[in-house]
A and B are shown apart, each in its own frame.
Chain A
Amino acid sequence: DIQMTQSPSAMSASVGDRVTITCRASQGMNNFLAWFQQKPGKVPKRLIYAASSLQSGVPSRFSGSGSGTEFTLTISSLQPEDFATYYCLQHNSYPLTFGGGTKVEIK
């Protein structure tokens, strides 16, 4: 099984900050990596697919990068509506596995 270690688990940031969230895979994988945003009481929403492709309708301040065992989600300038929990998901091999989540809170 591929374990996805996501860091940090929580963070405080201010509007306008650059935010970086990392997922490390326990073994090398292809770019079958997606990022999701979830707000309290809401359904998860996919932001990034194939490690770096922006989902249609998602603001360009979100970007994904990485390969092999390390993948990154970057928010270039945090906006008020971006305070949420973020998850990575590997679908390179079964079982599919999510990272533990990163809660981004207001500083």
Chain B
Amino acid sequence: EVQLVESGGGLVQPGGSLRLSCAASGFTFSDHYMDWVRQAPGKGLEWVGRIRNKPHSYTTEYAASVKGRFTISRDDSKNSLYLQMNSLKTEDSAVYYCARSAPGDCAGYWGQGTLVTVSS
């Protein structure tokens, strides 16, 4: 069974940093692209970014709203995905989900999400 479990959310002050993790199991993690998607309270879904797999050189893509502040990485030996968030703004407050993807296939499986609150 595919499982994705996010962790690392919490309360952080504006300008601060936070690192989210996503632990994967039940599938060959190294074969897949991975996405981060977020949802602000009462709002719609927003794609944050993607990291490709080793055959695609672990390259990344980001939404304009987070580019230069957020960094996606992965450790295939630990079946783990990460989202390093720096220079956080109040508008980054949201539930952050990790999702499994592949070339031509997007977000077929999601984690349960972790809540990030940016507030003073």
Contacts and interface: CB of A to CB of B under 8 A. Distances in A.
Interface in B63-77: 63-64
Interface in A74-107: 87, 89, 91, 94-101
Interface size class of A (residues with CB under 8 A): 20 to 34
B107 A43 contact: no
B110 A44 contact: yes
Contacts of A49: 105-106, 108
B31 interface: no
B104 A97 contact: no
Given A36-B107, A96-B50, A87 B44 contact: yes
Contacts of B97: 43-44
B18 to A, nearest CB: 21
A34 B61 contact: no
List 7 A-B pairs, minimum CB-CB distance, nearest first: A91-B106, A96-B47, A98-B45, A101-B44, A94-B61, A43-B110, A95-B63
Given A32-B104, A36-B107, A100-B44, 11 more contacts: A43-B112, A44-B37, A44-B110, A89-B107, A94-B50, A94-B61, A96-B35, A96-B106, A97-B47, A98-B47, A101-B45
Interface of B: 35, 37, 44-47, 50, 61-64, 97, 101, 104-108, 110-113
8 contacts: A34-B106, A36-B45, A43-B111, A44-B110, A46-B107, A46-B108, A98-B47, A99-B44
